[in-house]
Amino acid sequence: AELPAGEKIFNNNCASCHIGGGNILITEKTLKKEALLKYLEDYDTNSIQAIIHQVQYGKNAMPAFKDKLSTEEILEVAAYIFQKAEQDWS
Ligand code: HEM
């Protein structure tokens, strides 16, 4: 079967640095729930929106995706990350 849209977008644009929900550049800043709560501003109150913001604008060594992915694609990948974090990337 085909992969869900968010998973394909993740594999094509994010997995190079975030394979398995990790972070190859800053190893503690993973996409796991504990790290998102600790490092990503507003994740506790508005999780999907907090991910969308980081993907749109980037941060430090992470590139911005607002000129590379559509609004819909960014929403799809943010929802995918939220879901995977809730499942501990299992
Ligand atoms: C951090 C998502 C692509 C490098 C993060 C965080 C999220 C995220 C949600 C916050 C994690 C945390 O603070 O614990 C994504 C998504 C991507 C993507 C959805 C694809 C659309 C990339 C790529 C790179 C990268 C391609 C490497 C070239 C980083 C780095 C951080 C980070 C270095 C830490 C930034 C900092 O706080 O200094 N990413 N990422 N990301 N990402 Fe990405």
Is residue 15 within 8 Å of residue 86, measured between CB atoms?
no
Q: CA separation (Å) from 65 to 34, 38, 43, 55, 87?
A: 24, 23, 19, 6, 25
> Cα-atom radius of gyration of the chain, to the nearest Å?
12
Mutate to test the pocket of ligand 1, among 27, 30, 54 (most ligand atoms within 8 A of CB): 54
Closest to 19 (Cα-Cα) out of 76, 84, 86: 84
pLDDT at residue 1 tops 90: no
Interface ipTM above 0.95 = yes
Which pLDDT band, with edges at 50, 70 and 90, does 42 fall under? very high
Provide the pLDDT for residue 74: 98
Q: How far apart are CA 38 and CA 14, in angstroms?
A: 20
Residue 14 Cβ contacting ligand 1 at under 6 Å? yes
Residue 79 Cβ contacting ligand 1 at under 6 Å? no
